[in-house]
């Protein structure tokens, strides 16, 4: 829809300005500033891209339809930002407002400098109406963001001059556009016209009955302030965290489509060489370098990180911030060296090139402190992937430097010697089922399923009680199953996340060979770590079986009527979502379905639950490297159970089960909190 010349609102005819020498000089000045700002912006952008290209190759363009779907949900739909509803609305107003206002910027320049607008923009009544509406929404969004920063600021959000200054700059851009258009209306029609540009029409009332020369001067001021603010953005964005405005959509599209926490394997033949893991900037992939520039430094990852929230020296936010700073120091020197010229580096520059990622950029406590729970990645609004970087650094420490804690060394030794991290002889394997009368699979037995209890259930009595309860429930439901007996070795999950990829791959290949020879088709496990590894990581190496977690199995048996709980147990329970079951595999519904059908059970949710669940502190090898008394994550989670008002903590993971009970005892809270597996609760109700 185009407005006729008689009711034109935005066909701004500033012949009084363009037709004289001042107008010509104004055009020259405008294009000088525009070209200078654009050249600087693209120069800085190209430099960043050259830095990023120093990283190793990586494939992130496959499966385009899946990527577009993820992009639509997380960029267009603002999924992660909407977790904070009010701020999410403000952010959406600003983002979509800029998209809508973008065509108006060149149109505003063309109308003033050349008396000619862009077709379907300057005289399009629908666009003018929508544009004014979005200017109002952007102003509202900026106001909301400023109030949030200045009055009701979340603890994780850090204020700085740059962030507040950019909000004020955006505010200036949209407000001056509306004011400029208001002065034009006042010049042409005397002001007061609300259609099709209601905001500009309302603002024009302030300039009614003013001399034309004064209105023209005001229009010039608003126009120049508007474009000077835009030019300022072109200088600020490439040098600040606000580069995410450009990079975040691409980073989201290139996000890994593998399961949460997926780890790229390395070739065993090269695992002892210098390329096992990373210790230099250029050892990371280009995508990992790109993420350092995508990070908004918002702090949501710190807010969700259980280690940081518990007071441990681990913060995911500096993982990107320090890395970006290191790239800015190192990459220009690498480009100098690659230029082919005989470049002599100063002593300070040589010192920068000698810097290692491990020790100089990140301390070892930081690298080993991560629980690999995935909370930071779940929270990140721009889809930065943190854990692969940490695993890559651990691989270097373990496989190249042989530099890791004594507890880790003992862990690896026990698995290599005995097939389990407890270091128990194989003839004592699966002692929890010694008197259960379970069939041990041999040859190609005709059994429906194999029960893979996992190391924790096999050698720790607390997790063993949960495995025994599950064993009894499966028998009661009439399931045909067997155990692996002495052929049940560790699945290798923790060894992999501790950085020992060589040991992991050896375990995996041995297990796959044995189990395929035994005719294994379906695996049931009560350990969330085993479940994630067998289900998501073994297939890459040829281990393709149906893998079922015991919470899903039991929920199905209850639905089918094969298990019928009747005993009333008067308990107030809260459920702890294991990271490797919930965030990694999306299993939230089934455990709660079980608890809801148990007679006498009152289920309370903790503040941090489901996808935002707080880790127990056992993951990433911490179960073996952190003493219970030093595991602040576990202590925090127990305190959250108390705060929820529950007397029983229920979980569905062997490691969570063990660590939560031990932590409650360490805090002398075992009388207040009883820790049980979901299978134990179901057995108590039978």
Higher pLDDT, 3 or 659: 659
- CATH class in words for 5-49+64-239: mainly alpha
CATH topology of domain 420-558: Rossmann fold (3.40.50)
Half-sphere exposure of 484 (CA within 13 A, CB side): 29
Domain residue spans in the chain? 5-49+64-239, 268-336+346-400, 420-558, 565-684
- Chain CA centroid to CA 331, Å: 26
Q: By three-state DSSP, how is residue 212 classified?
A: helix
- Indicate if 420-558 has the same CATH topology as 268-336+346-400: no
d(CA 443, CA 518): 5
User: Counting Cβ atoms within 10 Å, is residue 632 exposed (0-12), middle (13-18) or buried (19+)?
Assistant: middle
Which CATH number does the domain 268-336+346-400 belong to among 3.40.50, 2.40.10, 1.10.1060, 3.30.70? 1.10.1060
Dihedral Cα 462, 463, 468, 470, nearest 10 deg: 130
pLDDT confidence of 208, banded at 50, 70, 90? Answer: confident
Question: What pLDDT is recorded for position 293?
Answer: 96
Question: What pLDDT is recorded for position 462?
Answer: 92
| Mean pLDDT of the region 527-555 | 96
343 has a pLDDT exceeding 90 = no
272 has a pLDDT exceeding 70 = no
Question: What pLDDT is recorded for position 271?
Answer: 43
Write out pLDDT tens, residues 92-144.
999 999 999 999 999 999 988 988 888 888 788 899 999 999 999 999 999 99
Q: What percentage of residues in the chain have a pLDDT greater than 90?
A: 73
d(CA 611, CA 318): 23
pLDDT confidence of 16, banded at 50, 70, 90? Answer: very low
pTM: 0.90
The overall average pLDDT reported for the chain is 89
| Mean pLDDT of the region 658-669 | 95
Question: What pLDDT is recorded for position 4?
Answer: 40
Higher pLDDT, 610 or 11: 610
| Mean pLDDT of the region 23-41 | 93
Q: Evaluate whether 110 touches 117 at the Cβ level (below 8 Å).
A: yes
Question: What pLDDT is recorded for position 160?
Answer: 85
| Mean pLDDT of the region 457-473 | 92
Separation in Å, CA 263 to CA 205, 288, 395: 62, 14, 11
- Write the CB contacts of 653 (distance below 8 Å, at least 6 apart in sequence): 527, 528, 529, 578, 580, 581, 616
Question: What pLDDT is recorded for position 313?
Answer: 87
| Mean pLDDT of the region 170-194 | 84
Q: Evaluate whether 593 touches 603 at the Cβ level (below 8 Å).
A: no
649 preceded by a cis bond (ω within 30 of 0)? no
- CATH class in words for 565-684: alpha beta
Q: Report the first-to-last Cα separation within the chain, whole angstroms.
A: 71
Question: What pLDDT is recorded for position 146?
Answer: 93
Question: What pLDDT is recorded for position 23?
Answer: 72
d(CA 542, CA 558): 33
274 has a pLDDT exceeding 50 = no
Write out pLDDT tens, residues 161-171.
889 999 999 99
| Mean pLDDT of the region 448-462 | 90
| Mean pLDDT of the region 352-364 | 94
DSSP bridge partners of 124? 2
3 has a pLDDT exceeding 50 = no
d(CA 267, CA 281): 21
Tell me the Cα Rg of the chain. Answer: 31
């Amino acid at each position: 829809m185009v407005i006729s010349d008689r009711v034109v609102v935005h066909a701004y005819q500033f012949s009084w300005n363009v037709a004289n020498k001042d107008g010509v000089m104004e055009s020259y000045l405008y294009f000088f500033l525009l070209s200078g700002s654009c050249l600087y912006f693209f120069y800085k952008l190209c430099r960043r891209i050259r830095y990023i290209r120093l990283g190793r190759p990586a494939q992130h363009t496959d499966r385009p339809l899946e990527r577009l779907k993820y992009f639509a949900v997380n960029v267009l739909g603002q999924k992660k930002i909407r977790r904070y509803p009010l701020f999410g609305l403000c952010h959406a107003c600003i983002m979509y407002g800029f998209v809508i206002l973008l065509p108006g910027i060149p149109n505003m320049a063309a109308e003033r400098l050349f008396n000619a607008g862009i077709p379907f923009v300057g005289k399009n009544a629908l666009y003018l109406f929508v544009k004014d509406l979005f200017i109002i929404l952007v102003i509202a969004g900026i106001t909301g963001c400023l109030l949030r920063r200045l009055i009701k600021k979340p603890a994780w959000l850090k204020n700085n001059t740059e962030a507040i200054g950019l909000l004020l700059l955006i505010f200036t851009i949209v407000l001056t556009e509306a004011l400029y258009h208001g002065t034009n209306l006042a010049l042409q029609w005397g002001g007061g016209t609300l259609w099709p540009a209601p905001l500009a029409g309302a603002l024009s009332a302030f300039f009614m009955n003013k001399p034309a020369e004064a209105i023209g001067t005001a229009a010039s001021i608003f126009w120049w302030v508007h474009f000077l603010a835009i030019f300022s953005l072109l200088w600020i964005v490439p040098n600040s965290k606000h580069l995410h405005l450009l990079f975040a959509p691409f980073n989201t599209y290139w996000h890994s489509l593998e399961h949460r926490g997926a780890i790229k394997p390395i070739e065993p033949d090269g695992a002892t060489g210098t390329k096992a893991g990373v210790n230099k900037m250029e050892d990371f992939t280009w995508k990992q370098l790109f993420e350092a520039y995508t990070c908004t430094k918002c702090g949501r990852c710190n807010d969700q990180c259980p280690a940081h929230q518990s007071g441990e020296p681990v913060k995911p936010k500096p993982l990107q911030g320090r890395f970006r700073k290191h790239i800015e120091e190192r990459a220009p020197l690498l480009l100098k060296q690659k230029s082919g010229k005989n470049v002599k580096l100063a002593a300070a520059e040589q010192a920068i090139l000698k810097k290692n990622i491990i020790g100089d950029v990140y301390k070892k406590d930081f690298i080993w402190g991560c629980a690999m729970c995935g909370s930071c990645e779940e929270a990140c609004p721009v889809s930065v992937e943190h854990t692969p970087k940490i695993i890559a650094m651990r691989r270097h420490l373990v496989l190249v430097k042989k530099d890791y804690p004594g507890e880790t060394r003992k862990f690896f030794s026990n698995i290599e010697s005995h097939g389990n991290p407890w270091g128990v002889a194989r003839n004592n394997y699966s002692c929890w089922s010694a008197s259960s009368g379970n069939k041990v699979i041999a040859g190609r037995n005709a059994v429906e399923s194999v029960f893979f209890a996992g190391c924790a259930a096999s050698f720790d009595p607390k997790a063993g009680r949960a495995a025994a309860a599950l064993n009894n429930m499966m028998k009661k439901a009439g399931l045909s199953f067997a155990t692996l007996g002495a052929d049940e070795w560790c699945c290798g999950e923790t060894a992999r996340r501790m950085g020992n990829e060589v040991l992991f791959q050896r375990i995996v290949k041995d297990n796959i060979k044995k189990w395929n020879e035994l005719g294994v088709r379906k695996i049931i496990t009560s350990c969330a770590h085993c479940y994630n590894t067998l289900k998501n990581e073994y297939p890459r190496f040829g281990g393709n079986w149906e893998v079922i977690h015991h919470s899903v199995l039991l929920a199905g048996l209850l639905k089918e009527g094969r298990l019928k709980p009747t005993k009333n147990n008067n308990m107030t329970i809260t459920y702890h979502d294991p990271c490797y079951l919930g965030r990694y595999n999306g299993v939230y519904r089934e455990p709660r379905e079980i608890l809801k059908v148990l007679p006498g059970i009152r289920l309370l949710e903790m503040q941090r639950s489901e996808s935002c669940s707080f880790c127990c502190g056992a993951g990433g090898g911490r179960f073996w490297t952190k003493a219970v008394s030093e595991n602040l994550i576990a202590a925090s989670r127990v305190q959250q159970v108390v705060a929820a008002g529950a007397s029983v903590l229920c979980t569905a993971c062997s490691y969570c089960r063990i660590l939560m009970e031990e932590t409650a005892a360490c805090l002398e809270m075992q009388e207040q909190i009883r820790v049980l597996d979901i299978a134990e609760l179901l057995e108590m109700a039978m």
